[in-house]
Each structure stands twice: as structure tokens, then as C-alpha cells.
Structure 1
Amino acid sequence: MPQITFLHPDGKSGEVPRNVTILEAAELLGFPLTHDCGGNASCTTCRVEVQSGSDRLSEIDFDEQDLLDREGLSEPWHRLGCQARVMGDVVVRVPLHKWERPSEAASVQIVDQSCNLI
């Protein structure tokens, strides 16, 4: 089985079945790769930067390339996690700016709301 590595402070690494998408691989490994459109190739939030193994991913199709081009992400190392299929070992970097963590104030508000319901 292919090995995939997600380079990110919360990154994961592990073996995944051949032919799963990078997004599916992330989900299998418990790595929350952002995908606002639900993995339908209509946004670029699941974009990753391939560090090694680009030749071990499925070929980029017209729709994926078109979306990347429209977002100014034309470099060959950019791929959409929902479209690129893992055929062998690969290492991808997940850009940090796409990750949003809840602020401490928001977390406290959620806890307060749940306590009020009890």
C-alpha cells in the first residue's frame, strides 16, 4: 500500500489503499484536510503542494487544472486533494493559512451555551 505524508504541524503519515484521493487518504488517517465544497472540485480549499511523488499521483484532468488556473495556482506542484489519486508514496505540504482554529473566546462561548442547556 502507498505511504502518504502530510507536512503540517498537525500532520499525519501512514499507508492508504491505492487509488484513494488525497482527501480520502487524509480522512482515513484522521487528518482534517479542509474541503469546503465537500470534495466536489468546485473550490480550492483542499489544495496541497506536492513535495515528492507527483509522478505517483493520478494525472491532472482538465477540470482540476482549470480550477487551479482560475485561482492562480498554475505551478505543477499544486493539486486538489479531492481530485489527485494516490498511486504510490507521496509527500504533500498543507498550507497553514487554510487552517482556522476556533479562538479561545469562541470555545468558552460554546461551553457556556451547553451549560445553559442543562
Structure 2
Amino acid sequence: MIRGVRGATTVQKDEEKEIIEATESLLRKMIKENKIEADMVASVFISVTEDITAAFPAKAMRLISGWTFVPVMCMREIPVKSSLDKCIRVMMHVNTAIAQHEITHIYLEEAIRLRPDLQAGDSTQ
């Protein structure tokens, strides 16, 4: 079964170093919390808001040992007027036997506001 594992984070500045570091931190936490190995992953989509232009956040995946061959694609979010600024979102498509309600979705920095109902310790998860 393929399950979607979601994550999001934000950056303060549209600078390559910050974009890559924030994305790497998010990816590593998604991987750790869900016990994901690279060969379990069908693909990864990474989207950014239109105010992020300094780097492809997908470069962060190449910094993680063993993830060289995982297909990853960057794209731009729909520019909704009230959307969160400088936001990076990840959708990882993972082959897993765990139930959908057991997936740990990761929201960091200001992105916590996107899905407060999915934060760790929330019994409605």
C-alpha cells in the first residue's frame, strides 16, 4: 500500500543555505518518525510558496545518505492570498503496511499552523 507522508516548514529568508537546511531537517524528521528507508519511497513532491526562489529544496534530499535514486520533484504552490509565507511542503509517497492513522505528519516552524490537529500528542490524529 502506498501512503502519503506529509510535512511542511518555513524559512525566514529566501536564501539557499536556509532553504536547504530547513528542508533537510524536515526530511530527516519525516524519515525518522515514520521509520522510512529510501527503497520504500516511490516519489517525493516538494512545493514552495512563490516567495521562495533562491534554491531547489530537493537538493536537501541528496545530502541524505542512500537517497540518491529516490525520484523527487519541486513545484510551486497555488498563490492563495492568505497562505503562509516562505513555506516548503513535502509529500512523500511511501510503500508501507502501517495504517494511515499511524503515519506521523511533520510540521515545523510556522508551518505548525497549517495542521494543528496533526501535532504529536493530539488524540484526534
Common fold by TM > 0.5:
no
Higher strand share: 2
Q: TM-score, normalised by structure 1?
A: 0.28
